[in-house]
Amino acid sequence: MALNEQDILPVQETKVYYTSTYEKPLLRTGVAVDGSCFFHSFFMAWKEFRDLSTEEKKMYILSHRKQFADRLDIRNWLAIQDGSVAFVQILEMMRIVIHLLPSMTLDQTQKKIFDTFHVDPDHLRILFELLGPTEVDQEMLPDWDVECCRLEKNPDTQKEILLHRMKSTWREIYREKITYKLESLESEPDIPRMDEKSRLSIIHKLSDLSYFMFDYVVQKAFDDFRHEVCNYDTWVDLQHYLYLSDHIHSTFGLSVLFLDASTGTPFEGQRYFLESSSARREKDGYVVLLYFPENHFEPIGEISESRQDGKRVITRIFDASHPLIVSIFDYLFPPSNDHA
């Protein structure tokens, strides 16, 4: 059953849901439409959570988000999806920072940044006079991205070593550009030529500023990601989930599978992280969530039995042999092609 964002259920409302890959009717339940809808949906598997008040649920989720964020350090951030998540975030942050730094006024915040990284702001201004943000963005970042992709393709490279090589590559690109800029300046008839020692000294000092930019970008990208994991209002996207999945499993002994609300089938994007992560465990328990891409999550359950008092029992935690879980894996990894 294909749905769109207009079909998101009100909080606590439950409706029958059909997926084309599973013959029995399922149930989906509305949860708060906020940045923590993933956690609302996941924790709906436990009656203790369902019985909490709205404010208690928020505090419960916030507590767990803080715990997950506290476990995050640069080493395990770099390990998410073999480093691809962190390096995309580093590249995105680099693009932001090269436009942000030239416009910085030397207020207390910026002074603290420069002091932390031992940067002379006057030297930085000279660098940006030579190489403005537009030129860096359009000419240097693409080269760096290509070189980093080449480095990343070596699966045996430790992520800390890879980070160091990315940093060295970034400096080399800057060094080549600065050298070219100085040579162009000196070719002007009214510009005197420098002696070789002075030229090399300037190239060296300005190139070394790239180390500051790289270190600052990596730290800021990591801090932002950590804040997003911790912040109740930040929507959990698949990049966050790739970090959270192992911690959810180690804390609750469960993995999460997704049905795609827009197609009525298992979410195709699961293939690449289920194949390459430890999430596919034969003895796992599973929670299944309905995923409205880039928008919302809802919990999925199934009526398993009726009690003597007439009330329904809804299963929200499924073992690996449950037909629903088998159907999801069979869809994502057809048995004839599944060598796992």
Same domain, 89 and 154: yes
Q: Identify the pLDDT of residue 191.
A: 81
Same domain, 58 and 200: no
pTM over 0.95, yes/no:
no
Quote the number of domains for the chain.
2
| Residue 320 pLDDT exceeds 80 | yes
Q: Identify the pLDDT of residue 107.
A: 63
| Residue 306 pLDDT exceeds 70 | no
| Residue 300 pLDDT exceeds 50 | yes
Q: What is the mean pLDDT of residues 96-102?
A: 80
Beta-strand runs (E) in the chain: 14-19, 22-29, 254-260, 265-266, 285-292, 296-306, 312-315, 318-319
Q: Percentage of residues in the chain with pLDDT exceeding 70?
A: 88
| Residue 50 pLDDT exceeds 90 | yes
Same domain, 293 and 213: no
| Residue 228 pLDDT exceeds 50 | yes
What confidence tens digit (pLDDT) does each residue in 153-168 have? 665 566 777 788 888 9
Same domain, 261 and 276: yes
| Residue 339 pLDDT exceeds 60 | no
Q: Identify the pLDDT of residue 338.
A: 45
| Residue 278 pLDDT exceeds 70 | no
Same domain, 198 and 265: no
Q: Identify the pLDDT of residue 151.
A: 66
Residue with tokens 């943000």: 133
Q: How far apart are CA 2 and CA 21, in angstroms?
A: 13
Contact criterion met (CB below 8 Å) for 315 and 304: yes
Same domain, 9 and 95: no
Same domain, 206 and 64: no
**CATH at residue 19:** 3.90.70
Same domain, 195 and 60: no
| Residue 111 pLDDT exceeds 90 | no
Q: What is the DSSP string of 90-158?
A: HHHHHHHHHHHGGG----HHHHHHHHHTT--HHHHHHHHHHS-HHHIIIIIHHHHHHHHHHHHT-TTS-
Q: How far apart are CA 304 and CA 313, in angstroms?
A: 6
Q: Which residue has the higher pLDDT, 138 or 149?
A: 138
Same domain, 304 and 284: yes
Residue with tokens 């942000």: 100
User: Among residues 230, 257, 279, which one ends one of the domains?
Assistant: 230
Q: Looking at mean pLDDT, say which of 40-44, 185-189, 320-324 comes out highest.
A: 40-44
| Residue 152 pLDDT exceeds 80 | no
Q: What is the mean pLDDT of residues 211-218?
A: 90
Same domain, 81 and 167: yes
The bridge status of strand 285-292 relative to strand 318-319 is antiparallel
Same domain, 94 and 199: yes
Same domain, 90 and 220: yes
Q: How far apart are CA 242 and CA 312, in angstroms?
A: 34
What confidence tens digit (pLDDT) does each residue in 3-41 have? 766 699 999 999 999 998 999 999 999 999 999 999 999
- Residue 223: give the domain boundaries: 76-230
User: Among residues 230, 264, 279, which one ends one of the domains?
Assistant: 230
The DSSP output letter for 43 is: H
CA torsion angle 106 109 110 115 (round to 10): 110
User: Among residues 230, 265, 299, which one ends one of the domains?
Assistant: 230
